[in-house]
Structure 1
């Protein structure tokens, strides 16, 4: 079941795989026109473009790295040229690595911030002139920001920062009718975990199972839709009770 979002013009960053892919396809199935960016060309992006075409609607699949300001400008320019405005932006693009803090290279810290935090800043700031009245900004955070995860201090720092970013933006953009929320997924099955890792994580979750990308996509669609018209500045945990 897809939440209806007919006619919404939505930009989804990092949409060729996992959560971003499910979000893009779910919004399209709900009637939205979707622009999706991906960092690398390949089968994932190609198949996404085919699936969006099969669903129907006016969709864009653009190669862009949100960590590169020039790519962000080109991405937003493509949205402007196609639609003239955006009704929602879903900032999902992100990177993650697992390194002990004592051995964390400065270059990896900088790379993670450039994509996860500065990339979000660039996309949101660049999108401001395109936002329609009542637009929705959805920032994909992580439950890790609240609980902490060993070997991910750099990743967790970026996701924690999104909470404060959203709280400040909701105050600043609220008078314009623009809503800003963070969606913080728990452990989601993106088929990248071993069987042993899956069992271990399941034991930590109240519902005793991993979440599906489509379960995140449903909540994103709610935040994009007019059903959440009085919801802003919040961090919504979708984590199965982790």
Structure 2
């Protein structure tokens, strides 16, 4: 199916690994020119650059730490200089840690909030002058906000906040034809899971497979499918929504 995305311009934050990488590659394969960013140097960024070169298009893989407001501004300046504007923004970059709430330091709270919430706010705010009618802004959240997860109060709070931010922006900028939506993700199989010790990985796979209606974990490609839909005219009347991509987890 031709989704009509060819020639569109996208920014995907945190796009060199896992879900973000799947989104970047899916967009590129559908004719979208993509700028993505990473926080730390490594083979993931270099290998993504090689894959994007093979696909073809006007792509860039840039280094930017979303916890630094100046680097966020620089990232969006690069989008302006390279593309002249944007049609799609995918807020994927996030950090997580597991800390008992009674031991959660202010520094760690602020570290998570700065990247996961303030970083998203700054990306969107800087992107607004580059967005026109028909543009789509997506932010990655988690199904965990519906049930809560022990040791992740700080992380869950930031993901829950994305829903309120998104719904408010959908109302405020609807007249400009800019759509804002959230993807609430279930458990997605990425290289993070593969890097775990065999016993731990096996336990997690069994636990979450049993909780999911489809009896399996999701893939980055399946998340990317939802991004493609929400970025296309097929979802032209969808805004202010939280779309679950979770395999029916319960």
**The TM-score by the shorter chain falls in which range?**
over 0.9
Q: Which residue of 2 aligns with 1:60?
A: 60
Aligned-partner Cα distance in 2 for 1:133–1:12:
19
Q: Structure 1: where are the runs of 5+ without partners?
A: none
2:206 corresponds to which residue? Answer: 199
Unaligned ranges ≥5, structure 2 = 194-200
Q: Secondary structure at the match of 1:203?
A: helix
Partner in structure 2 of residue 107 of structure 1: 107
2:12 alignment partner in structure 1 = 12
**Other structure's SS at 1:46 match:** helix
How big is each residue's C-alpha offset from its partner over 1:69-91, in whole Å with a ceiling of 9 and x where there is no partner?
11111111111001110001000
CA RMSD of aligned residues (A): 1.1
Counterpart for residue 32 of structure 1: 32
Whether 1:208 and 2:204 are equivalent positions in the alignment is: no
Q: Tell me how far apart the structure 1 counterparts of residues 59 and 113 of structure 2 sit (CA, whole Å).
A: 29
Q: Which runs of 4+ in 1 moved over 4 A?
A: 1-4
Partner residue of 1:240 out of 226, 247, 250: 247
In structure 2, distance between residues paired with 1:224 and 1:212:
19
Contact 1:45 1:61 (C-alpha < 8 Å) held by counterparts: yes
Give the match for residue 121 of structure 1. Answer: 121
Cα-to-partner distance string for 1:96-141 (whole Å, 9 max, x where unaligned): 1111111111111100000000000000000011112211000111
- 8 Å CA contact retained: 1:185, 1:239: yes
Aligned match for 1:228, one of 214, 230, 235: 235
**Partner-residue secondary structure (3-state), 1:75:** helix
- Number of aligned pairs? 242
Task: Give the distance between the partners of 1:216 and 1:27, measured in 2 at CA.
Answer: 12
For 1:130 and 1:165, how far apart are their aligned partners in 2? 19
The answer to whether the 8 Å contact 2:69/2:122 transfers is yes
Structure 2 counterparts to residues 130-169 of structure 1, below 5 A: 130-169=130-169
CA distance in 1 between counterparts of 2:150 and 2:187 reads 15
Deviation at 1:4, TM superposition (A): 4.9
Deviation at 1:203, TM superposition (A): 1.0
Matches within 5 A, 1:62-101: 62-101=62-101
Equivalent residues in 2 for 1:39-54 (5 A)?
Answer: 39-54=39-54
TM-score (norm. length: structure 2): 0.94
CA contact (8 A) 1:13 1:38 kept: yes
- Are the counterparts in 2 of residues 205 and 240 from structure 1 also a CA contact under 8 Å? yes
